[in-house]
Structure 1
């Protein structure tokens, strides 16, 4: 792989859930053996501690049921396991002091409100200045871990794009990370996004089901494949909250979390996110030919020179207490100013009419 291609792949892997799903069928001649030992033979790259955390977190199922750590496997049983995805980069993460907008924190989890322009995870083109660098610095002062050690550092079970704002949950220990990964796999984590898109959606609310994979002609994009085979399952529910004649404010509820899911799904519907350069939303896609309107849209692009997308709400079960935690963060200033500008535009049209 070329250096340029590696950078593209690394940068484009934002906005996804970070877990791995495994499935094994026990051989019909297998004798009784503890499940952790059985799985260690099958998954030699996974430590016993990780497997035991997975069992405790309910992330290991035998024939669809949770089991205890001392469970012994039986012939022909189907074992499924969901574990957090380990970091795949080869870079040592250097701690960097960073102002983190912490919404909530306890001994097990932390929720932050990510600003626009902050890359979540280091990659070839972003070895420093990422959220993970900031977390490494923060955690070295509050947790007994070795800074820069990718295997011991608490971390992410999902990501959002560099220029998308909003809520992220961070696991502060291995057990919490495993428990949260299972929740993302089960689609029990609730996430709502606010987006400004081009045009009026018809119908005004609906459900988008379309597998997502890289665009073969542009690997910086994800696109919908309708063959039902290519790509990963992706489901987005949407509802129009306000219509501004040429743009619409939309609430998006994720059932899955794939790379660029909302951005790709809205583009698939013919309504790219406003100011989304990667998907063509940074051009005038709806509206008049008058110079005054063009100037208005250009001013809107200047106010919010990024995709108009904000991860507004986040809800999950606390890994230890079992209590449901729900968070909401306000729309950031640039996005709020953009919405206000379109509201005023709509009012001016109504007055003229």
Structure 2
């Protein structure tokens, strides 16, 4: 089989993988999407029950598929799942669900992708679009292994029912930490442990959602290097509910604790407090373990890339990395821009490899 008949393998069937499939298809190549889950909707069904997008429908769409409904509506988790399923159905590309990529090996000018079903798929190009949800980040803190309470990451949180009446500390200062803290604060005593005060950013300014201004002013597409200079702290989008809730004591905020001690936390002021649950809303790292034997990752498992294009293997590209090229890189509204960007060099590599082989 030559490179012009082989598919381009896209690993991951969430929003980034679907955006990549569209770009690969539009480049005249044949995409094959491998999705470990039972539906091509990525990690969305596994997020907490009450999750809503922080951007309204009109700023949460992928190319050629408006979200539908009220453009100012903030879609729920389940609405996003239904939207992605519909998008996948309309793409007209091959998607294999229930298929997990286990390894990628270099083979000539291309690759072979191995799956948990025992398949070995030759390809001229690979798009790594697996996101990060399956690789939650939890910081190393003294005494955690001996903590007798419960610890979990927000990836494993679903709803407040198991935590009624408990003492809960949430580690994190971002949108998820505040959204979950607000929800838990209705049934439990909740503190957000952070290294800096919460930074609330008004959801609407001059009658327009913040995303209107991000798009109008071009902030959505600013290069990541510029963002590092402009953004200080972790902004939390707020329509007024969360800041009022903090002021009313629905949840409070304390300086990050320094250690675990049995069933207690040691706060920065050395006070020890018994705690039932510590929930980490501390983000994620890219889920790229299938590339570990390829030599495409650094010692921390992070991809060696520039703008989503591998620095180690021509024909390997990424879509869906946080701040890959811009503020919106790993979002519904922004993944397609990165997909279009990386598929250009990928298509050139596939064509060049086919030419060398006389295809």
Specify if TM > 0.5.
no
- TM-score normalised by L of structure 2: 0.26
Q: Which has the higher contact order (CA 8 A, sep 6+)?
A: 2
TM-score (norm. length: structure 1): 0.26
